[in-house]
Structure 1
Amino acid sequence: MDWLQVWVLALVQGLTEFLPISSAAHLILVPVLTAWEDQGLAFDVAIHVGTLVAIVAYFRHEVAVVTRAWVRQVGGNGATPESMLAWAVIFGTLPAALAGLIFAGVIEAHLRSPLVIATTTIGFALLLWLADWRGRGSRDEFGIRWRDILIVGGAQALALIPGTSRSGITMTAALLLGFSRRAAARYSFLLAIPIIALAGGYQTLQLVQAPPDTVNWLQIGIGAIVSGVAAWLSVHWFLKLIERIGMLPFVVYRLILGIILLWIFL
């Protein structure tokens, strides 16, 4: 793997992980469109760790607050909006985790093609546009209810299909439930923490079980740092601009990308 590939893949992962445009789709498509050799599992683990560190660092205050509230509730001090948000992150993760365990093999074998990505990219772009147009609610993430958790968590499971976008589908569901754009994004980003950690843990287990291979630790380290910095900046600017620009720019991007993919691969 050369250094151009390291930088491109790390930037793609970092910039797209938390935007509603599907990082998985981009990481599948980059090698297809460039004919690069597979970057290897160790590099995939590194760039996911980079984005995980970035999102935890960005939301370190919120993570600390909801964790303390959850611990106090478990200890018998009563429920609060902050402890409810912690439960929302925990239970909102379960559908995707279970679906991943059950359907990972099927998805890997049959749903990672450019045409599937093109279809889901376009289809879920239109659904995101509809949610943004119809939603525009005022609810925040601390007012989340069990019905919301079930719906958003179920939507997150759909993101196992490449091209769906985990952040995109969870924001879509939250917008349809009446959350504000910013609250929908913030809940989606908090949901990303356990799901990325679980995915990274699964990849690490695969890496440990795989035959020993030569690893370029400098490339691994640079990839993790680049993806982390890119992810932090992506989240920061998305939250600053989302109430002003809405989801339309991302919808348009997805539609253009999907059409280009259909033109290339049909």
Structure 2
Amino acid sequence: MSAEACTQGLDTGFIELGAAKVAALGVVQGITELLPISSTAHMRIVPALLGWRDPGSAFSAAMQMAALAAVISYFWSDVRGFVFGSIAAVKRRDFKDWQYRFTTWIFLATLPLVAFGVLLSKTLNACGSPLRSLWVIGASCIVMAIALALAEKFCTHRRTLDNVSLKDAMLVGLAQVGALIPGVSRSGSTLTAALFLDLKREEAARFSFLLGLPAIFLAGVKEFYELFKAGLSAEGWMILGVGLIVASISAFAAIWSLMRILERFSSWPFVVYRFLIGVFLLTAVWQGWLQ
């Protein structure tokens, strides 16, 4: 691994790729980050098939800001309502207000992810991290495909976001911790957990995205701080900026597509896709097609 691919212990392989390749990967990252199909898996598969190096965990983590922009834009009416509704409730000292309670639950549900994220940060972002191995990613894809299939098959999907509770939020928050394992997917883990709580499919996706806002924001800010502290070059920041712009646009398109699919069909297309991706990865490693 070259010195440019590892900046003070951070895997910054995206610098070697250059702006054009990072823009292409930004499209892939933006689409897969918010669909329940694992962006990490695709960030390992696509470069490998094209003969490019792994862009690194720092790139994937920094792309959280693109996902944040897309989620806030798409769910702006929800975000605005919860923010200003909570502020108004605090001014009235009405702590039983539903918008205030739901906003509080979102932050409380983020605490498990923050705790485990801090504990595992060095391992997750280290150059050559074993957690980014194709074996781990492939197995995670298959396990999550099975979990999503069970949620789709055995749950009623009748509840709406209006009647969720703190317990529901904490359960989905705990499921979010699984996203620290590459291949699990934050969107996939939280959507699956929400479906197990019998939420309607589109409501489960809405819950997943709204609950994930603090986690996405914190992950992005943390990674930007780490890159700044590590002394990322001006070229590196420029290349990262290109990826962020492209990823933001594709992430918004991904949310729109996901909501249409869940409203009109179900999550079965993602179950099948995840399972096939997992099988492909394990087979490719076993046969030596991918390293």
TM score, norm. by length of structure 2: 0.84
Q: Contact 2:175/2:193 (CA < 8 Å) preserved in 1?
A: yes
- Rate the CA distance shift 1:139–1:80 in 2: closer, same or farther, 3 A: farther
Q: Of 261, 267, 272, which residue of structure 2 is paired with 1:241?
A: 261
Q: Contact 1:41/1:203 (CA < 8 Å) preserved in 2?
A: no
Structure 1 stretch 35-44 or stretch 22-31: which is displaced more?
Answer: 35-44
Counterparts of 2:172 and 2:60, CA distance in 1: 26
- Rate the CA distance shift 1:110–1:223 in 2: closer, same or farther, 3 A: closer
- Which deviations, in whole Å up to 9, do the C-alpha atoms of 1:148-202 show, x marking residues without a partner? 1121111100110011111111111111111111111001111222111111111
Corresponding residue for residue 227 of structure 2: 207
Q: Of 14, 27, 30, which residue of structure 2 is paired with 1:14?
A: 30
- Which deviations, in whole Å up to 9, do the C-alpha atoms of 1:198-223 show, x marking residues without a partner? 11111111111113424166544432
SS at match of 1:17: helix
Q: Of 129, 135, 138, which residue of structure 1 is paired with 2:149?
A: 129
Corresponding residue for residue 206 of structure 2: 186
Q: Contact 2:148/2:192 (CA < 8 Å) preserved in 1?
A: yes
- Which deviations, in whole Å up to 9, do the C-alpha atoms of 1:17-70 show, x marking residues without a partner? 111111122223333443424547885566332221111111111111111222
Corresponding residue for residue 166 of structure 1: 186
Q: For residues 24-35 of structure 1, what are the structure 2 equivalents within 5 Å?
A: 24-35=40-51
Q: Of 225, 240, 248, which residue of structure 2 is paired with 1:228?
A: 248
Counterparts of 2:84 and 2:113, CA distance in 1: 25
SS at match of 2:158: coil
Q: Contact 2:30/2:251 (CA < 8 Å) preserved in 1?
A: yes
Q: Of 55, 61, 65, which residue of structure 2 is paired with 1:49?
A: 65
Q: Of 242, 263, 266, which residue of structure 1 is paired with 2:283?
A: 263
Q: Contact 2:36/2:270 (CA < 8 Å) preserved in 1?
A: yes
Give the superposition deviation at 1:225: 1.9
Corresponding residue for residue 163 of structure 2: 143
Q: Which runs of 5+ in 1 are unaligned?
A: none
Counterparts of 1:115 and 1:206, CA distance in 2: 27
Corresponding residue for residue 4 of structure 2: none
Counterparts of 2:278 and 2:156, CA distance in 1: 26
Question: Match for 1:94: what amino acid?
Answer: L
Question: Match for 2:202: what amino acid?
Answer: R
Counterparts of 1:10 and 1:212, CA distance in 2: 19
Give the superposition deviation at 1:74: 3.1
- Which deviations, in whole Å up to 9, do the C-alpha atoms of 1:215-262 show, x marking residues without a partner? 166544432221111111111121122132211101111111111111
Matched residues, percent identical? Answer: 36
Question: Match for 1:226: what amino acid?
Answer: V
SS at match of 1:53: helix
Counterparts of 1:120 and 1:217, CA distance in 2: 31
Q: For residues 86-105 of structure 1, what are the structure 2 equivalents within 5 Å?
A: 86-105=103-122
Q: Contact 2:29/2:63 (CA < 8 Å) preserved in 1?
A: yes
- Rate the CA distance shift 1:155–1:43 in 2: closer, same or farther, 3 A: closer
Counterparts of 2:145 and 2:200, CA distance in 1: 18
Q: Of 82, 86, 101, which residue of structure 2 is paired with 1:66?
A: 82
Counterparts of 2:32 and 2:55, CA distance in 1: 18
Structure 1 stretch 108-117 or stretch 89-98: which is displaced more?
Answer: 108-117
Corresponding residue for residue 118 of structure 1: 138
Give the CA RMSD over aligned residues.
2.1
Structure 1 stretch 196-205 or stretch 235-244: which is displaced more?
Answer: 235-244
Q: Contact 2:158/2:200 (CA < 8 Å) preserved in 1?
A: yes
Q: Contact 1:54/1:229 (CA < 8 Å) preserved in 2?
A: yes
